[in-house]
Amino acid sequence: MAKTKTNTEDYLRMYRQMVRIRSFEDNANQLYLSAKMPGLTHMYSGEEAVAVGICEALEVTDKITSTHRGHGHCVAKGANFKEMFCELLGKEEGYCRGKGGSMHIADQSNGNLGANAIVGGSMGIATGSAFTAKLLGKDDVTVCFFGDGATAQGLLYEVMNMAALWNLPVIYACENNGYSEYTKTEEIAAGSITARAEAFGIEAHQIDGQDVLAVNELTQKLVARARKGEGPFFMELMTYRYHGHHVGDINREYYRSKEEEKEWKENRDPIIKFRGWLIEQGIASEDEIETMNAEIRQDAAEAVAYAEAAPYPDEIEVDMHVFTDVKHALA
Amino acid sequence: MREITLSQAVNEALAEEMRRDETVFIIGEDVAEAGTPFKILSGLVEEFGTERVVDTPIAEPGFMGLAVGAAMTGTRPVVDLMFGDFIYLIMDQLCNQAAKTHYMSGGKMSAPMVLRTNMGATRRSAAQHSQSLHALVAHIPGLKVAMPSSAYEAKGLLKTAIRDNNPVVIFEDKLMYQDKAPVPEEEFLIPFGEANIKREGSDITLIATSSMVQVCEAAAKILAKEGIEAEVIDPRTIVPLDEDTLIASAKKTSRVIVVDEGHQSYGITGEIAGRINEKAFYHLDAPVLRMGAMDVPIPFSPALEDITVPTPEGVAENARKLMSGEMIHAA
């Protein structure tokens, strides 16, 4: 694995953040299976090295835009389990007071401008956030997360064109998990994805999205250059989605085999891979890692219990926040 | 008082607000040196530079999405959409993103931005450059909608819109850009949600938006010669709507015609008529009448186009029918 951050604490935080994402998703899936969660949700499990490798290269003031498969980005950018689970369950203490849910979870305090339920819907927002930084002379960088499926949306090409024309500090991070909903990416994407960015003169990199250190190293370099006005950049991160398109997509052998899933889970898992490296490098022992894992599982379990017991928003909130300056839009 | 054109009024409003607040910027196609095809923005790029008067590629969803993200992160974009008809191209960014940002985030984020566009037929521009699509936007919770009826309103409403913390859409009638009206030299704002009683009358209420205010004022003159005193009311903003003023007038005159240039079916006229029916039913002597644009795509031929929109003669004719009681049976 590529070696970037030299601080032991940084490595351990990266590991912890990846396990936190996996743990969050395991619980979210369980909430769905036990019919405790309203609606559906889209699991990030398997892609942890992407969100963590990228977000660990960002400052709190840097911005991200996220996707319908957004829990991983939210955790990686610094969100708390408690407010996240509350949001997933539609509770008042959720990040969005229960009004957004899994697909719209946002955490402005950490620069997460929100998940988006329209595939590709946040590409304009991310580019606009970078525009703000340039106009106001701020040095923050925006990372736009989206999947391979979203590369089929025209909006991407419109905003990449503008970002390239105006050298905006934005990094387009394409999480290529091999599937566009229930369809293989090769069936929906002609040619090369990175070449599309290169056509606008945008420097593009394809990288192993299961290698958190490699992702982090590249992102650190690109972020530093974007801050200096050398952006935009494009990254295609090759990764894998362990679950179906959403938690209800269980019988999926018609579009991908169990053997393929097994191969990724057993031999290309980003957490197992990084854990092995940490032990091999003497950064953490098996026991220390197991202790960390147990602590995170415990945190998640407590947050789930908290969220389950937390109150729903009062009905009076239904017409609040329609407009910024009107307390109750229907009063 | 000095008189200026609606086009000059818009230009002045933008210049004043851009001088007052350096986070305000203009973005759209041919807004800088060209000053738009209607020459509304002439001179602004010279004063504020290309950083704040931003020419974009022909990519409406792209620059609209960029503006939403810019608004969410600390700027106040004024988007110039060359023709109102292009609103179909930006619907996702306007209605799924901008309109819902504040609500979906539980009040934590907002998108303070203005979308300036136009409306109005009879310019011989055919079906894709002549539509009045404000009803589409007014239907979406979270968007405010202003419809200036003269240079005075165009200036005062735009200044208010730029200072508003919500997404605001302003529809200017493209046939009125060269129309002059008295506009004070000194600064003024027009609050949203306050209708303007343009002409007082006791026999019938004519509620009219945008250029239909002129149409109804002309109709009122015709009717006055026949001894019918029409009250003409301009709501100025349809979201928020000053329902109280409209209802009070309906109760006073007992007869109402609502005149608007959007297509009649499922439009503003039906909405306002519905509210009057609900709140002034026992005061009415006749059904509330709707007069919108014909439910046909706008035709090119002048012989056909001119008959698709309400005229003073048509409004006067319907007013006479309401006064004589004819419409009660027709209904």
Asked whether the beta carbons of A85 and A38 are under 8 A apart, the reply is no
Residue of A nearest to B22 (CA): A136
- Our CA-based measurement puts residue A99 at a distance from the nearest CA of chain B, in whole angstroms, of 5
Please judge whether B104 and A124 are an interchain contact, meaning their C-beta atoms are less than 8 angstroms apart. Answer: no
Region of residue A282 (phi > 0: left; psi between -120 and 50: alpha; otherwise: beta): left
pLDDT value at position B330?
52
Report how far Cα B94 is from the mean position of its chain's Cα atoms: 17
Residues contacting B292, CB < 8 A, separation 6+: B259, B260, B261, B262, B263, B264, B265, B267, B268, B269, B310
Q: Does A179 reside within a domain?
A: yes
* H runs (alpha helix) in B110-149: 134-138
B62: alpha, beta or left? (left if phi > 0; alpha if psi -120 to 50): alpha
**For residue B194, which of B127, B262, B240 has the smallest C-alpha distance?**
B240
Q: What is the chain A residue with the closest CA to B52? A: A135
Q: pLDDT tens digits, residue range B244-279?
A: 999 999 999 999 999 999 999 999 999 999 999 999
Extents of the domains making up chain B: 3-182, 196-330
Name the strand (E) or helix (H) holding A136: helix A123-136
DSSP state of B321: H
Of B14, B16, B17, whose CA–CA distance to B36 is shortest?
B14
B325 — pLDDT class (breaks 50, 70, 90): confident
End-to-end CA distance of chain A: 59
Nearest CA to A171 among A26, A295, A287, A58? A58
Instruction: Give chain B's length.
Output: 331
Asked if residue A329 belongs to a domain, the reply is: no
What does the pLDDT average to over B179-189?
98
Please report whether residue A80 resides in a domain.
yes
Closest to B69 (Cα-Cα) out of B117, B41, B118, B27: B27
Residue from B318, B321, B265 nearest B296 by CA = B265
Same fold, B3-182 and B196-330: yes
Q: In the predicted model, what is the mean pLDDT of residues B106-128? A: 97
Q: Cβ–Cβ contacts within 10 Å for residue A235, how many?
A: 26
Read off the pLDDT of each residue in B115-141 and give the average, rounded to a whole number. Answer: 97
Chain A residues near residue B102 by CB distance under 8 angstroms: 321-324
Q: Which CATH number fits domain B196-330: 3.40.50.1470, 3.60.70.12, 3.40.50.300, 3.40.50.920?
A: 3.40.50.920
Q: How do B180-182 and B24-28 pair as beta strands?
A: unpaired
C-alpha A191/C-alpha A202 separation (Å) is 17
Average pLDDT over residues B159-186: 98
Inter-chain touch A128–B56, beta carbons under 8 Å? no
Of the candidates A171, A181, A202, A220, the residue with the CA atom closest to the CA atom of residue A5 = A220
pLDDT for residue B286: 94
Cβ of A98 within 8 Å of Cβ of B106? The answer is yes
Q: What is the model's pLDDT at position B328?
A: 60
Residue A32's domain is classified under what CATH number? 3.40.50.970
Residue A8: Cβ within 10 Å count: 13
A124·B62 Cβ contact <8 A: yes
Q: Packing angle between helix B60-72 and helix A154-165, nearest 10 degrees? A: 70
B109 interfacial to chain A (CB closer than 8 Å): yes
Nearest to A28 by CA among A310, A215, A247: A247
pLDDT, residue B326, reads 78
Distances, alpha carbon B318 to alpha carbons A46, B195, B225, B322, B323, in Å: 68, 23, 16, 6, 9
Amino acid at residue number A72:
G
Residue A325 lies inside a defined structural domain of this protein: no
Model pLDDT for residues A145-163, shown as the tens digit of each residue: 999 999 999 999 999 999 9
Two structure tokens written together for A299: 């945190």
Domains in chain A: how many in total? 1
Helices A123-136 and B60-72, packing angle to 10 deg: 60
CA distance A163 to B63: 11
Do residue B97 and residue A118 have CB atoms under 8 angstroms apart?
Answer: yes
Task: Provide the token pair at B327.
Answer: 């419409």
Q: Does A99 touch chain B (CB under 8 A)?
A: yes
- Which run of H or E residues covers position B80? strand B76-80
What per-residue confidence (pLDDT) applies to A189?
95
Query: What's the confidence (pLDDT) of residue B331?
Result: 45
- Does the CB of A111 have a partner CB in chain B at under 8 Å? no
Between chains, do B96 and A63 touch, taking CB under 8 Å as contact?
A: no
Class of domain B3-182: alpha beta
Sequence-distant (≥ 6) Cβ neighbours of residue B65 within 8 angstroms:
A123, A124, A125, A127, A128, A155, A158, A159, B90, B93, B97
The predicted structure's pLDDT at residue A7:
83
Q: Please report the pLDDT score of residue B15 as a whole number.
A: 98
- pLDDT (tens place) for every residue of chain A, 331 residues total: 545 556 899 999 999 999 999 999 999 999 999 999 999 999 999 999 999 999 999 999 999 999 999 999 999 999 999 999 999 999 999 999 999 999 999 999 999 999 999 999 999 999 999 999 999 999 999 999 999 999 999 999 999 999 999 999 999 999 999 999 999 999 999 999 999 999 999 999 999 999 999 999 999 999 999 999 999 999 999 999 999 999 999 999 999 999 999 999 999 999 999 999 999 999 999 999 999 999 999 999 999 999 999 999 999 999 999 999 999 999 9
Angstrom CA distances, A194 to A188, A198, A210, A265, B59, stand at 15, 6, 18, 26, 21
A162 → closest Cβ in B57, B103, B164: B57
- State ipTM: 0.95
pLDDT digits (tens, 9 = 90+) for B273-293: 999 999 999 999 999 999 999
C-beta pairs of B97-101 under 8 Å, 24+ apart in sequence: B97/A116, B97/A118, B97/A121, B97/A122, B97/A124, B97/A125, B97/B65, B97/B68, B98/B68, B98/B71, B98/B142, B98/B143, B98/B167, B99/B140, B99/B141, B99/B142, B99/B143, B99/B167, B100/B142, B101/A114, B101/B68, B101/B72, B101/B142
Taking an 8 Å cut-off on Cβ atoms, the answer to whether A159 and B68 are in contact is: no
Ramachandran angles phi, psi of B256, nearest 5°: -140, 135
In a domain, A66, yes or no: yes
Instruction: Locate the chain B residue with the closest alpha carbon to A127.
Output: B66
For residue B13, pLDDT beyond 60: yes
d(CA A125, CA A114): 10
pLDDT tens column, A113-145:
999 999 999 999 999 999 999 999 999 999 999
The residues of B carrying an active-site annotation are 60, 129
User: Is B240 within 8 Å of B192 (Cβ atoms)?
Assistant: yes
Tell me which of A323, A328, A330 to substitute to probe the interface with B (most B C-beta atoms closer than 10 Å): A323
Would you say residue A102 lies in a domain? Answer: yes
Q: What's the one-letter identity of residue A151?
A: T
* Enclosing domain of residue A253: 8-319
> Cα separation of A44 and A70, whole Å?
7
In this structure, how many other beta carbons lie within 10 angstroms of the beta carbon of residue A205? 15
Counting one residue from A and one from B, how many pairs have CB atoms under 8 Å apart? 151
